[in-house]
Amino acid sequence: MGDDRGSLVALEGNKTIPFDIKRVYYLFGTAKDITRGLHAHLALKQVMLCVTGSCKILLDDGVVRESVFLDSPTKGLLVESLVWREMSEFSSDCVLLVIASEHYDEADYIRNYEVFKKTVEIDTLAARTEKHKWNE
Ligand code: T46
């Protein structure tokens, strides 16, 4: 949305943001050579956007690793649960806004990559077993 006064972006739970919003936080003042994240979440879903500046987000679902460059306040990235994320290449003016589906809970974090891979394997196997049951 915008007019000759400037631009406006509205973020609404269960509309533009595809879940109930429980928490909003933002990262700023991160040095260019720093990598943050390096974890996945068991249940948490988030939408990330750079309200100013830019940064790179690497996403890894246990099979595919893909990088996305967030460089516009009109670009939002939905990160589902069980996705490993690494944020890097922060511009000096970067403010990374994160809209989260859950309150902060350290028990929801997987901070070890090998544990993450095992968790994805178990989750995939459980989903396949469930599907198989329905097909019987
Ligand atoms: C994520 C990325 C994008 C809190 O106390 N409350 C909070 O809501 C958050 C997010 C963090 N913290 C504490 C936990 C740590 O002691 O703040 C400290 C820094 O958190 P962390 O090392 O997890 O920061 P990042 O930048 O690596 O990751 C954060 C989020 O934690 C994470 O969910 O997806 O930003």
- Give the count of beta carbons closer than 10 Å to the beta carbon of residue 32: 11
Q: What is the per-residue pLDDT across 22-77, written as a single tens digit (0 to 9) for each? A: 999 999 999 999 999 999 999 999 999 999 999 999 999 999 999 999 999 999 99
* Active-site residue (options: 39, 41, 103, 132): 39
Q: How confident is the model at residue 1 (pLDDT cuts 50, 70, 90)?
A: confident
Q: So what's the pLDDT on residue 59?
A: 98
Q: So what's the pLDDT on residue 134?
A: 64
21, 38, 39, 57, best to mutate for ligand 1 pocket (most atoms within 8 Å of CB): 39
Higher-pLDDT residue of 133 and 62 is 62
Q: So what's the pLDDT on residue 3?
A: 87
What is the pTM for the complete model shown?
0.93
pLDDT-above-70 percentage for the chain: 96
Q: So what's the pLDDT on residue 135?
A: 64
Per-residue tokens: 44: 């948490």
119 class by beta-carbon count within 10 Å (0-12 exposed, 13-18 middle, 19+ buried):
middle
Going by the DSSP 8-state scheme, the letter that residue 17 receives in this structure is: B
The finding on whether 36 has its CB within 6 A of some atom of ligand 1 is: yes
Average per-residue pLDDT in the chain?
95
Q: So what's the pLDDT on residue 129?
A: 77
Task: Examine the residue annotation and report whether 103 is marked as an active-site residue of this protein.
Answer: no
Higher-pLDDT residue of 41 and 125 is 41
Ligand 1 centroid – CA 96 distance (Å): 12
Rounded CA separation 90/81 (Å): 23
The finding on whether 30 has its CB within 6 A of some atom of ligand 1 is: no
The finding on whether 98 has its CB within 6 A of some atom of ligand 1 is: yes
